[in-house]
Amino acid sequence: MTKLLIIGAGKSASALVRYLDANAQENNLQILIADKDMQAAKKSAAYPSTKAIELDIFNTEERQKQIKAADMVVSMLPARFHIEVAKDCVNFGKNMATASYVSDEMAALDEEVKTKGLTFMNEIGVDPGVDHMSAMKVIDEIRDKGGKLILFESFTGGLVAPESDDNLWNYKFTWNPRNVVVAGQGGPAKFIQEGKYKYIPYQRLFRRTEFLEVPGYGQFEGLANRNSLAYREVYGIEDIPTLYRGTLRRVGFSKAWNVFVQLGVTDDTYTLEDSEHMTYREFFNTFLPYSPTDSVELKLRHSLKIDQDDLLWEKLLDLDIFNNKKTIGIKNATPAQALQSILEEKWMLKPDDKDMIVMYHKFGYELDGQKKQIDSTMVSIGEDQTFTAMSRTVGLPLGIAIIKMIKKEITRPGVLRPIYPEIYKPILKELEEHGIEFTETQTEYLGYNPHNLK
C-alpha cells in the first residue's frame, strides 16, 4: 500500500483527488488529505480511497509525523509554505510534488534532493505546467528538425465560459480574486522584442495589450506578465530575439481595469481609516478631488476623461460602485482588499456557471532559410463550480505526474519542472484522453507585430 499525503484541500484539489481515486485501486494507493480546516478536508475526501485529517502545518511536530509516515507528499498549500514541507521531505527521504513555481528556496535544495535520489516535481499545474509541456514539445520538435527558434509568445487566461458570460466585463473570478486585483504589481513587465529589452511599468501595463484570435472562441487581448525573460534559461532559448509571456482577457477588460489602476484602488501597501463602515461610494470618493458641488460620478468621469456614453462607463456602473448603502465590511482594509470585496459581489461564479482556460502559443522559427510560424491553442471548459476548468487543468497534470512517480515511470532526481521529453510526452498524451489537447496550425510567419500593441 502506497500512502500519499496531500497537504491542502483548496479549490484546485477537487479534480486532483477525483483522478487519484480513480487510479487508486490499480496502484494500491491510500490517499490522506490534510488541512487545517477539517470540513474542507472532509469535503475533498469523499471517495473510497481517501481519508481526511486535520493538520496545522505550523505545528512542526504533527507535520513531520505525517510526512514521515507517508510514502509521497503533495503540497497544495499557498506557495510560500511549500519550503517547510520540502525540507521535511528531504530529511525523511520522501518524493514530493507541487503545482507552484520553483522558489529560490526550493531551487537551493536541488543538490541535496539529487544526492538523496529524490524527485521534487514542481510547476506541474496549468500555468506553470501545461504551458511548459506544450511549449517544450513544439520547441524540441523545431530543434530536432534543425530549426532555430526566433520568436516565442505564450498567453494563458482563466476566464468565464461563453455560455456563462453575462456581464459587460466578460469576466468572473475563476481563481484567487486577490491575485487578479494585485496582478502586475511588484515590478515592471520585462520581455525582449527583436533583440531589444522592453519594460512596461505597472501604471502603463493595462494600456499595452496585444490582440489574439482563438478559432471558435473569438478575440482576446494579452497583457504582459511580470518577467518573461526568466523563461530563456528554463526553455534553453537564451539567444531568442523575441520572448513575451502574458495573460489573456476579453477585449476591453484591460482598458476598463486601468481606471482602477489610475485611481489607485488596487494599491495593497496601506490601510484605510474606518474601512469597515465605508460605503462603496465613499470608497471611490476617497480617491477623487474634493468638490462642494460635483457628484462622485462627475468627478470620476472628469478625472479620467470618461464620456458618459462610453461603454467603459457602463462597465463601472455595472459594478454598482456608487452605491451609498453597501459597505466594505473589512476592518483596516487596504484599497486592494476593499476593491476585491466590491468585485466579489458581482464576479463570483454562480452555481450553474462554467469557467474556461485558454492557452495560446506562437512559435516563430527559421528552417532551411525560410521563416515559419506555428500557432498552438488549447481551450478547456469547466463542468461546474467544483470541477472547474481551472481545477482540472491544475489537478490532472499534477495527478498524472504523481501516479507516474509512484509507478517509477518518472525517476529523474532533483528539483524539477516538466520540461524533459520523458516527462512531458506521456503526460500530454494522457491529458489528451481527458480532453486537454492542443491544436497546432502552421501559419505564415508574421513576427512580433508592434502595431498590435496599443
- What is the maximum alpha-carbon separation in the chain? 74
CA 363 to chain centre: 21
Of 191, 198, 207, nearest to 155 (Cα)? 191
Whether 245 and 301 share a structural domain: no
Q: Are strands 218-224 and 242-250 parallel, antiparallel or unpaired?
A: antiparallel
Whose cell is 487508486? That residue is: 24
Whether 382 and 309 share a structural domain: no
Whether 17 and 162 share a structural domain: no
Whether 379 and 314 share a structural domain: no
Task: Please indicate, yes or no, if residue 261 is contained in any of the structural domains.
Answer: no
Specify the pLDDT at position 445.
83
Whether 33 and 70 share a structural domain: yes
Per the prediction, the chain carries an average pLDDT of 94
Whether 211 and 360 share a structural domain: yes
Task: Please indicate, yes or no, if residue 417 is contained in any of the structural domains.
Answer: no
Cell of 298: 462627475
What is the average per-residue pLDDT within 182-207? 94
DSSP helix/strand/coil, 437: coil
Specify the pLDDT at position 342.
97
Task: Please indicate, yes or no, if residue 60 is contained in any of the structural domains.
Answer: yes
Q: Pick from 347, 381, 413: which residue ends a domain?
A: 347
Q: What is the pLDDT of residues 387-419, one digit of tens each?
A: 899 999 999 999 999 999 999 999 999 999 999
CATH code at position 162: 3.30.360.10
Q: Pick from 121, 153, 169: which residue ends a domain?
A: 121
Whether 241 and 311 share a structural domain: no
Q: Determine the Cα–Cα distance for residues 20 and 73; give it in Å rounded to an integer.
A: 13
CB count within 10 Å of CB 124 equals 28
Cell of 405: 512517480
Whether 92 and 22 share a structural domain: yes
Q: Determine the Cα–Cα distance for residues 71 and 92; give it in Å rounded to an integer.
A: 10
CA angle 434, 395, 186 (to 5 degrees): 130
Task: Please indicate, yes or no, if residue 234 is contained in any of the structural domains.
Answer: yes
Q: Which ranges constitute the DSSP H helices of 145-214? A: 177-181, 202-205
Task: Please indicate, yes or no, if residue 416 is contained in any of the structural domains.
Answer: no
102 by Cβ neighbours in 10 Å (0-12 / 13-18 / 19+) ranks as: buried
Q: What single-letter DSSP state applies at residue 109?
A: T
Residue 373 pLDDT > 70: yes
Whether 240 and 358 share a structural domain: yes
Whether 111 and 12 share a structural domain: yes
Specify the pLDDT at position 187.
87
State how many domains the chain has: 3
Specify the pLDDT at position 448.
58
Task: Please indicate, yes or no, if residue 175 is contained in any of the structural domains.
Answer: yes
Task: Please indicate, yes or no, if residue 410 is contained in any of the structural domains.
Answer: no
Residue 305 pLDDT > 60: yes
Q: Pick from 318, 347, 376: which residue ends a domain?
A: 347
**Inter-residue contact 418 to 133 (CB < 8 Å):** yes
Whether 228 and 194 share a structural domain: yes
Percent of the chain at pLDDT exceeding 90: 92
CB count within 10 Å of CB 121 equals 26
Range of the domain at 441: 130-256+351-389+435-452
Provide the residue type at 330 as one letter.
Answer: I
Model confidence, pTM: 0.92
Whether 160 and 290 share a structural domain: no
Of 179, 176, 177, nearest to 226 (Cα)? 179
CB count within 10 Å of CB 16 equals 28
Which residues partner with 3 through β-bridges? 30
CATH code at position 64: 3.40.50.720
DSSP helix/strand/coil, 18: helix
Task: Please indicate, yes or no, if residue 343 is contained in any of the structural domains.
Answer: yes
**Inter-residue contact 399 to 382 (CB < 8 Å):** no
